[in-house]
């Protein structure tokens, strides 16, 4: 629930929208009046009958079913995980690059239905955000929901991305490299390198070896996957999806920091983090080497 003062502020924003305020003007107002959590609560609640003008102007939230299909959770529980990541992103960007996310040029690689991109409106205007995904369904869901900014479809094995090169202050790939094959990982990290600004920051998530134990689907094979992780630094279990260029590129993946450092010399590991809300998504902060 929004607090009383926050509800009044959202009502003011709704009145602004009804008078013809632009989406950037509305976001600028909400940034000054709402906390990140309150902004998230608003974004996941749209459309709302009590805020009709905002509901027409701002993106509609995906259904609970869509949220669960993409992430396994929905609603406030999922918002808590999202806010934890966004706060870590903002904190570590400031710590490692001595800058605020405010006004930054940001790419959400593997955006899904746009759950994290929605939260980035709290920091920067839509035209500075690129939400990119190789799955046509994900791109369609973003567009159908009225997501604003730059929505684009990429290749599954990209050599480049549909966005400006050497341009992004911040790029993140949440729960992407926890699912990609070795070839897909190679391709994506190489493509992302082409688009990051020289002083930019890339944030990815990886899974630790414990993932194979806590996921009941892998109970009979957990020891084998952990051994693969320990021996090679990378373990991948493909899912039964369509192949790309003859290869299953999507599944479940774990990898080590040493694997990243040794195999991707164009990137430098600057730090790591994680959140209690989602402890098997370990955040890794990378800068262009």
User: Using one digit for the tens of pLDDT, what is the confidence trace for 88-143?
Assistant: 999 999 999 999 999 999 999 999 999 999 999 999 999 999 999 999 999 999 99
Q: Is pLDDT above 80 for 1?
A: no
Query: Are the C-beta atoms of residues 254 and 225 closer than 8 Å to each other?
Result: yes
Q: Is pLDDT above 90 for 247?
A: no
Q: Which pLDDT band holds residue 207 (cuts at 50, 70, 90)?
A: very high
Domain ranges of the chain: 4-57, 64-288
Question: Which tens digit of pLDDT belongs to each residue from 43-87?
Answer: 999 999 999 999 999 999 999 999 999 999 999 999 999 999 999
Cβ neighbour number for residue 205 with a 10 Å cutoff: 22
Q: How many whole angstroms separate alpha carbon 248 and alpha carbon 144?
A: 28
118-127, 147-156, 173-182, 236-245: segment of lowest average pLDDT: 236-245
In this prediction, residue 195 carries a pLDDT of 98
Query: Are the C-beta atoms of residues 237 and 227 closer than 8 Å to each other?
Result: no
In this prediction, residue 70 carries a pLDDT of 96
Q: How many whole angstroms separate alpha carbon 179 and alpha carbon 185?
A: 9
DSSP the chain: ---HHHHHHHHHHHHHHHTT--HHHHHHHHHHH--HHHHHHHHHH-S-TT-HHHHHHSPPPPPHHHHHHHHS--HHHHHHHHHHHHHHHHHHHHHHHS--STT--EEEET-TTTHHHHHHTTTS-GGGEEEEES-HHHHHHHHHTT--SEEEE--SS-SS-SS-TT-EEEEEETTSTTTB-HHHHHHHHHHHHHHEEEEEEEEEEE--TTHHHH-GGGGGGHHHHHHHHHHHSEEEEE-SSPPBTTB--BEEEEE-HHHHHHH-TTEEEEEEE--TTSTTSEEEEEEE-
Q: For the residues 146-171, what does the mean pLDDT come to?
A: 97
In this prediction, residue 240 carries a pLDDT of 76
Q: How many whole angstroms separate alpha carbon 171 and alpha carbon 130?
A: 9
In this prediction, residue 241 carries a pLDDT of 72
Q: For the residues 183-200, what does the mean pLDDT come to?
A: 98
Q: Which of 184, 146, 183, 190 is nearest to 165 (CA)?
A: 190
Q: How many whole angstroms separate alpha carbon 132 and alpha carbon 288?
A: 20
In this prediction, residue 268 carries a pLDDT of 98
Q: How many whole angstroms separate alpha carbon 23 and alpha carbon 26?
A: 5
Cβ neighbour number for residue 74 with a 10 Å cutoff: 20
Query: Are the C-beta atoms of residues 193 and 171 closer than 8 Å to each other?
Result: no
Classify 64-288 by CATH class: alpha beta
């Amino acid at each position: 629930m929004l607090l009383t003062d926050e509800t009044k502020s959202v009502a003011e924003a709704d009145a602004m929208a009804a008078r013809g305020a632009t989406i950037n003007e509305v976001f600028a107002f909400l940034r000054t009046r709402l906390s990140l959590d309150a902004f998230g609560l608003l974004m996941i609640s749209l459309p709302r009958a009590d805020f009709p003008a905002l509901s027409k102007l701002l993106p509609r939230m995906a259904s609970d079913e869509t949220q669960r299909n993409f992430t396994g959770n929905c609603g406030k529980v999922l918002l808590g995980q999202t806010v934890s990541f966004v706060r870590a992103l903002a904190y570590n960007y400031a710590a490692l690059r001595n800058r605020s996310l405010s006004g930054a040029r940001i790419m959400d690689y593997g955006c899904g239905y746009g759950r994290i991109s929605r939260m980035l409106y709290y920091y920067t205007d839509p035209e500075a955000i690129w939400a990119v995904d190789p799955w046509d369904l994900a791109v369609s869901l973003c567009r159908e929901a009225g997501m604003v900014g730059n929505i684009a479809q990429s290749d599954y094995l990209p050599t480049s991305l549909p966005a400006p090169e050497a341009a992004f202050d911040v790029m993140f790939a949440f729960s992407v490299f926890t699912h990609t094959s070795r070839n897909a990982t190679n391709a994506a990290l190489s493509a992302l390198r082409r688009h990051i600004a020289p002083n930019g920051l890339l944030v990815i998530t990886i899974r630790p070896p414990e993932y194979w134990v806590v996921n009941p689907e892998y109970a009979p094979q957990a020891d084998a996957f952990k051994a693969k992780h320990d021996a090679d630094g990378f373990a991948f279990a493909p899912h039964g999806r369509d192949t790309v260029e003859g290869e299953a590129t999507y599944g479940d993946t774990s990898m080590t920091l040493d694997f990243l450092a040794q195999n991707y010399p164009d990137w430098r590991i600057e730090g790591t983090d994680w959140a209690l809300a989602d402890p098997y998504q370990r955040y890794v902060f990378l800068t262009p080497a």
